[in-house]
Amino acid sequence: AQTMDEMWESRSSGKEHANIQWFKDAKFGLFIHWGLYSHLGGEWKGKRYYGSGEWIMNQAKIPVREYEATAATFNPSRFNADEWAQLAKDAGIKYVVITAKHHEGFAMYDSKVSTFDIVDATPFKQDPMKLLADAVRKRGMHFGFYYSQFQDWHNPNGGKNTWDFDESKKDYQKYYRQKAIPQLKELMSNYGDLSIVWFDTPGGLSKEQTQQFIDSLRLLQPKSLFSSRVGHGLGDYRDYGDSEMPAMPINGAWESIYTHNDSWGYMKHDMNFKTPETIIRLLAEAASKGGNLMLNVGPDGSGRIPAYSAQFLRETGRWLQVNGESIYGTTQGLIPQQPWGVTTSKPGKQYLHVWTRPRSGKLLIPNANMQVQKVYALADGQPVKWHKRGDAIWIDLPITLSDAKNTVFVLEYAGEAPTYNKNA
């Protein structure tokens, strides 16, 4: 079997989706995992589960009927679409992707295909997806849905529920026909323009069938981008594994996904939230390699985004207000990753993202075959001293720059771009 890498590399057409540029420029997305699992918060019958919150039905092998019954008390009355969207905006987010249906099979929108949805099965009775889609787009951000197209632990023919249903008796085609495709059609018909449809964990379809599946959905929204987890090396941009960052710069549109703590869906007992500093480094690292970071948060069953997530996202947004020029609309750095940090590019400029202050106070850029014009701090425009020695450029960092500030310097150069990574 081919690996994901091989499948992607062997794509026959090198043609990109006509609507890919916004995605390449966006750099920072917000992923939201929200479902019936959020209501359970990683706990079932008094027992805590570790791993990931949205997997609790699978991990605790909860029978479908018992799992369904939890919907009767799922009432996210504190959900406020404008608050979530404004938080994303304040964080400097350019696109938001939310789980319309995860592996548990529960639709977080008003579905006519199944009554296992938030409108029919819960006391909440509203469609939060509709409100969120509007609130996000109203603020000028792109909006998309995550949809688990193969795994469905609620449907007898869906993928991967082995505790209630006999895998050998399943008819995956029937599941696609009766649930996944009709639900995707609802999502792509009733929620305005979707910038992204985010698939996950493919299965049950051959490459040809996957292509047909994609083609039939394309008719509804030709401008939507499909994530590579639709399977078989298809899709419009490439996603790596969960919490995976490619080691080297990558050409073409791609995205790394990380979650804020160690769970995608809300988990009461997971407090291991990444600091703003860590988030900014992941963002800069993804950008330095030519890709996006989509960072996940897991709102709880009452409809609240965890306080640490909100706080750390806002702090990230404050950094981006000052330093956004070094992230948005950039392309991969021309200088390879250095002990002090990473670089991103715009024409005639290298942004030096300094994570670790060298003890000497001097930044070394080795083998720098470029004509430096000037170097200055991005935040305040203060010029910084530099000199060339042989092919090396040495930059004198301001004495006030302490360790680990994610400080950005701009190096402007004339003429040809340096050629370090051309074959990376």
Which spans of this chain sit near ligand H79 (rule: CB under 6 A)? Answer: 51-52, 54-55, 200-201, 242, 257, 264
- Minimum distance from CB of 285 to ligand H79 (Å)? 19
CB of 294 to ligand H79, least distance (A): 9
- Of 52 and 210, the one with the shorter C-beta distance to ligand H79 is 52
- The nearest distance, CB 348 to ligand H79, in angstroms, is 37
CB of 309 to ligand H79, least distance (A): 16
Whole-angstrom distance, CA of residue 92 vs CA of residue 261: 19
Nearer to ligand H79, 259 or 332 (CB): 259
Taking the least distance from each CB to ligand H79, the nearer of 90 and 270 is: 270
Q: What's the min distance (Å) between Cβ of 376 and ligand H79?
A: 39
DSSP 8-class letter at 418? P
In sequence order, what are the residues at sequence separation of 6 or more whose Cβ sits closer than 8 angstroms to the Cβ of residue 68? 116, 121, 154
Helical ranges in 60-103 per DSSP H: 64-69, 81-90
**CB neighbours of 155 closer than 8 A, spacing ≥ 6?**
105, 114, 175, 178, 179
Report, in Å, the least distance between residue 290 CB and ligand H79: 21
User: What residue number has its CB nearest to ligand H79?
Assistant: 51
Beta strands in 308-370 (DSSP E): 331-332, 341-346, 349-354, 362-365
Residue with smaller CB distance to ligand H79, 305 or 363: 305
Q: What is d(CA 206, CA 231) in angstroms, rounded to the nearest whole number?
A: 9
- Tell me the closest approach of the beta carbon of residue 113 to ligand H79, in angstroms: 21
Exposure pattern of 293-326 as b/e (b: 16+ CB <10 Å)? bbbbbbbbbebbbbebbbebbebbbebbeebbbb
Residue 154 neighbours by CB under 8 Å, 6+ apart: 64, 67, 68, 104, 105, 106, 114, 116, 161
State the minimum distance, in angstroms, from the CB of residue 8 to ligand H79.
18
Nearest residue to 355 (alpha-carbon basis) of 283, 422, 424, 254:
283
CB nearer to ligand H79: give 58 or 338: 58
Which of 48, 60, 99, 298 has the alpha carbon at shortest distance from 201?
Answer: 99
CA atoms of 152 and 355, how far apart (whole Å): 42
Cβ contact 200:146 at 8 Å: yes
Three-class secondary structure of residue 87 per DSSP = helix
The dihedrals phi and psi of 144, each to the nearest 5 degrees, come to -150, 165
The nearer residue to ligand H79, 99 or 111, going by C-beta atoms, is: 99
Residue with smaller CB distance to ligand H79, 148 or 224? 148
Distance of closest approach, residue 264 Cβ to ligand H79, in angstroms: 4
CA distance 163 to 303: 30
Query: Which two tokens mark 210?
Result: 């996957």
What's 223's DSSP letter? Answer: T
**Smaller CB separation from ligand H79, 244 or 391:** 244
Least CB distance to ligand H79 at residue 199 (A): 10
Cross-sheet strand order for the sheet of 407-414: 331-332, 341-346, 349-354, 407-414, 371-377
Which is closer to ligand H79, CB of 101 or CB of 281? 101
Nearer to ligand H79, 257 or 368 (CB): 257
Which residue, 362, 314, 413, is CA-closest to 354?
Answer: 362
* Contact partners, residue 311, CB within 8 Å, separation at least 6: none
Closest approach, Cβ 178 to ligand H79, in A, equals 22
Q: Which is nearer to ligand H79, 55 or 79 (CB)?
A: 55
